Structure 1
Amino acid sequence: MAHTPSVLFVCVHNAGRSQMAAGFLTALAGDRIEVRSAGSAPADAVNPVAVAAMAEVGVDIADSKPKILTDEAVGISDVVVTMGCGDACPYFPGISYRTWDLPDPAGQGIEGIRPIRDRIRILVENLIAELLPAPKG
Structure 2
Amino acid sequence: MKRTIPMLVATGLLGATLTAVSPASAATSSAVDCTKSGYTRVVNSYVPTNIERPAIDGRSYNIGGPLAYTYEICLDIPDNERFTIEVRSWTNQQQSSFVDDRPGDKVFRYSIPPNSFWQIYGTLTGPGSTYIYYTWHEKQTQA
TM-score by length of 2: 0.26
Q: Which has the higher contact order (CA 8 A, sep 6+)?
A: 2
If each structure's helix is expressed as a fraction of its own residues, which one has the higher value?
1
If each structure's strand is expressed as a fraction of its own residues, which one has the higher value?
2
